Amino acid sequence: MPRTPVTVTVTGAAGQIGYALLFRIASGHLLGPDTPVRLRLLEITPALAAAEGTAMELDDCAFPLLSGIDITDDANTAFDGTSIALLVGARPRTKGMERGDLLEANGGIFKPQGKAINDHAADDVKVLVVGNPANTNALIAQAAAPDVPAERFTAMTRLDHNRALSQLAKKTGAPVDEIRRLTIWGNHSATQYPDIFHAEIAGKNAAETVGDEKWLAEEFIPTVAKRGAAIIEARGASSAASAANAAIDHVHTWVTGTAEGDWTSMAVPSDGSYGVPEGLISSFPVTTAGGSYSIVQGLEINEFSRTRIDASVRELTEEREAVRGLGLI
């Protein structure tokens, strides 16, 4: 194995997404077949035993690329030398909990984790926040890490992107790999906006190919935006394997680059593009190359899209105000 292992930290490693994620990281799907990985698993103390069990199973796979596993309940240890930080563990909303309570509880997780990343991670660290509310949790972690370039903090809307690809493929009968340039805008929440106006199916404009604005407004958008809730209703538990798959896709694309002529969706700190207030971690169309990403510029935004992007961005602005009010950023 010629290359030095890359340290990958997964928080909430004993949870359901963690279980679906770790084996794919260890088998090379995150960073490719030539990059050995060292896993650092962060869990709360009561879940350490379960994380140990998962680590035993990882051992039992004898993955050639897995050079070691450390398990800890200490964030400083978990992020020491890490190049890829996958922040999955979060406080779920429980009965009777208000949104403010949820933000505050997550502040107690993401603020210290951001500080630990700031103080201990590798210089090239890339952060993906999966734990909900993902965009605002990423903002909290980022604020606690002033020495890390702000653009390294991202949140996951790739699951929404993949859901949209799949729904559009079903509607049109096109294979998913013929669909390009689809975009998720805004928050990873029910206000998100999956946009097909710039998307192409086999080189033709997707919105024109579909030619059905009623389907777009009444079926496609709500199906994608409310898919998380539909999975919970059907499965009795939230998306796990598909969320893990999207986390792999997000980091893999960030590290290896988007295909020529295509883009993906990532929630990244806004530079003011498309009227999204600077600093909000909002989903945009992005291209990636050489381990960096750029927000796609110059897209024309029609009235239909503008209203929906603005609504989701408004929600993000309110979340930012709420965590500001709580002293979390």
Ligand X SMILES: O=C([O-])CC(=O)C(=O)O
Show which residues are catalytic.
188
**β-pairing verdict for 126-129 and 200-201:** unpaired
Residue 182: phi, psi to the nearest 5? -85, 150
Nearer of residues 202 and 241 to ligand NAI, judged by Cβ: 241
Piece in contact with ligand NAI (CB under 6 A), picked from 43-51, 171-179, 295-303, 305-313: 43-51
| Tokens encoding 250 | 């997000």
> HSE of 124 in the Cβ direction (CA atoms, 13 Å)?
10
- The answer to whether 253 and 293 have CB atoms below 8 angstroms apart is no
β partners of residue 40: 9, 70
Closest approach of Cβ 38 to ligand NAI, in Å?
A: 18
Piece in contact with ligand NAI (CB under 6 A), picked from 62-70, 89-97, 176-184, 275-283: 89-97
Nearer of residues 159 and 251 to ligand X, judged by Cβ: 159
Residue 228 touching ligand X (CB under 6 A): yes
DSSP of 40-70, one letter per residue? EEE--GGGHHHHHHHHHHHHHTT-TTEEEEE
Candidate residues 7, 43, 274, 320; the one interacting with ligand NAI per rule CB under 6 A: 43
Residue 157: phi, psi to the nearest 5? -125, 15
Name the binder of 231 from ligand NAI, ligand X, none, CB < 5-8 A by kind. Answer: ligand X
| 106-128 core/surface letters (b: 16 or more CB in 10 A; e: else) | bbebbbebbbbbbebbbeebbbb
Candidate residues 9, 82, 132, 162; the one interacting with ligand NAI per rule CB under 6 A: 132
Residue 190 touching ligand NAI (CB under 6 A): no
Residue 159 touching ligand NAI (CB under 6 A): yes
The angle at the Cα of 21, spanning 75 to 80, to the nearest 5 degrees, equals 25
Name every residue whose Cβ is closer than 8 Å to that of residue 254 and which is 6 or more positions away in sequence: 126, 128, 154, 266, 288, 291, 293
Candidate residues 7, 10, 12, 187; the one interacting with ligand NAI per rule CB under 6 A: 12
**β-pairing verdict for 126-129 and 153-155:** parallel
Q: Number of residues in contact with ligand NAI, rule: CB under 6 A?
A: 27
Closest approach of Cβ 267 to ligand X, in Å?
A: 12
Residue 39 touching ligand NAI (CB under 6 A): no
Closest approach of Cβ 162 to ligand X, in Å?
A: 11
Candidate residues 83, 239, 264, 282; the one interacting with ligand X per rule CB under 6 A: 239
Q: Where on the chain is the footprint of ligand X (CB under 6 A)? A: 132, 159, 228, 231, 238-239
Q: Where on the chain is the footprint of ligand NAI (CB under 6 A)? A: 11-12, 14-18, 42-44, 47, 88-90, 92, 109, 130-132, 134, 156, 159, 188, 238-240, 243
